[in-house]
Structures are given as structure tokens and as C-alpha cells.
Amino acid sequence: MNGWDIVQVIVVLVGLLGGVMGPVLRLNSSMTKLNTTLNNVDERLKKQEEHSQKAHERIWEKNDEQDKMLANHEGRITRLEDRK
């Protein structure tokens, strides 16, 4: 092997390394962005679940309050019907 053969091998190896490293770096960048986006979605989902939990509690409290009012109303109607 002479000097030019060694230079050609080195150039081919550098070209191969550059051809592989470019897509690998872009892939790494894309994976980092995806990971950040997924973390943000996870945080928003947790906040939504907490909000839903609180909303459901308020709905059930209102439902219980209306059940008590309805029971009282039915009792009053029954008493009025019994008077006749």
C-alpha cells in the first residue's frame, strides 16, 4: 500500500462516519423533543385528572343535596295526600 491508498481509506472512513453521524444526531434531537413533549402531556393529563376528580366531587355533593330535597318533598306530598 502506498501513501495515496491510506489517504483514500481515511477519506472513505471519514465520509462513512459523517454519513452515519448526521442521521444519528438528528434522531437524537427528535427523541429529545419527543421526550419533552411526552413529559408535558403527562403533566397536563395529571392536572386534568385532578380537575375531573374535584368536579365529580362537586357533582356528587349537589346530587346528595337534591336527593335530600326530593325526599323532603315526597314526604310533604304524602302527608298532604293522607289529610284528604
Angstrom distances, CA of residue 41 to CA of 32, 54, 60: 14, 20, 28
Q: State the Cα–Cα distance between residues 27 and 23, nearest whole angstrom.
A: 6
Q: Give the helix/strand (H/E) hosting 31.
A: helix 3-83
pLDDT digit string (tens) for 10-27?
989 989 988 889 899 999
In this predicted model, what pLDDT tens digit does every residue of 32-68 receive, in sequence order?
999 999 999 999 999 999 999 999 999 999 999 998 8
pTM: 0.56
Residues 49, 42: Cα–Cα separation, whole Å: 11
- The domain locations on the chain are 28-84
